[in-house]
């Protein structure tokens, strides 16, 4: 799931300086789960922004909304009537949601309220770690479900570097070595033989976004 962090209030206040009435739009999906853009966060941020503007002697009218998924047009378009009556939209969605609004409301200023950080899993309440970099050619079957692209600091595909020590990464000692995790996982599965299989170098020119935005087309779903 996408993980994000709210931008500092001072940064947001600077973005909103020219505007007197805004829509503060959250998202009911990923940013709700990581507590950066759900209904609760929308309400708290709205209060902070109003107080900050009042302290500067300037009022700010804020309309609060949290569609189910801001990154999908059918949900984003639920905001259409409200958007026509505001000066700008402050979006607490990930970067995809911000761009969805920008594409569908091309005469309205859309301001990002969070920094999209990574795709990851919940480790404990309030703690998330990166697990996927959307490289475009998943190799998790070969590595026991542990991703060396996301979890190895050097993104090594065929074993650890020489600096790994006692199961820890040489770049950041408190971080588990991804290849130690891969070894332990394959051992528990009885699949250590997979370590002798060479994983070919990734073709970043076709598998990553080096040629621009990637696209998936399902012809069975298109009209």
- CATH number of domain containing 100: 3.40.50.2300
Q: Are 201 and 138 within one domain?
A: yes
Residue that is last in its domain, among 59, 93, 118: 118
Interior angle at CA 31, CA 90 and CA 129, nearest 5: 130
214 found inside a domain? no
223 found inside a domain? no
Q: What are the residue ranges in the chain where pLDDT is below 50?
A: none
Structural domain tally of the chain?
2
Give the mean pLDDT of the chain.
Answer: 94
Residue 163 has a pLDDT of 94
139 found inside a domain? yes
Cα 5 to chain centroid, rounded: 9
Residue 2 has a pLDDT of 94
Residue 214 has a pLDDT of 76
Domain that holds residue 25: 2-118
Q: What's the pLDDT tens digit per position in 143-191?
A: 999 999 999 999 999 999 999 999 999 999 999 999 999 999 999 999 9
Q: Are 62 and 149 within one domain?
A: no
Interior angle at CA 16, CA 12 and CA 19, nearest 5: 165
pTM of the model: 0.88
End-to-end CA distance of the chain: 28
Q: Are 107 and 25 within one domain?
A: yes
């Amino acid at each position: 799931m996408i993980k994000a962090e709210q931008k500092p209030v001072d940064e947001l206040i600077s973005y909103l300086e020219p505007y007197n009435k805004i829509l503060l739009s959250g998202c009911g999906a990923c940013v709700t789960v990581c507590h950066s853009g759900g209904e609760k966060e929308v309400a708290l941020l709205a209060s902070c922004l109003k107080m900050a503007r009042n302290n500067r002697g300037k009022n700010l009218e804020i309309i609060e909304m949290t569609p189910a998924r801001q990154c999908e047009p059918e949900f984003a378009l639920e905001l259409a009537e409200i958007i026509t009556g505001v000066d700008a939209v402050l979006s607490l969605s990930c970067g995809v949601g911000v761009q969805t609004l920008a594409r569908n409301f091309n005469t309205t200023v859309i301001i990002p309220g969070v920094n999209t950080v990574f795709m990851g899993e919940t480790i404990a309440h309030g703690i998330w770690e990166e697990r996927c970099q959307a490289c475009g050619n998943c190799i998790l079957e070969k590595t026991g479900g542990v991703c060396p692209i996301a979890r190895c600091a050097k993104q090594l595909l065929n074993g650890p570097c020489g600096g790994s020590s006692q199961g820890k990464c040489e770049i950041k000692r408190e971080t588990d070595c991804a290849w130690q995790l891969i070894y332990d996982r394959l051992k528990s599965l009885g699949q250590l033989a997979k370590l002798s299989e060479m994983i070919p170098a990734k073709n970043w020119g076709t598998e990553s976004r080096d040629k621009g935005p990637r696209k998936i087309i399902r012809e069975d779903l298109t009209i």
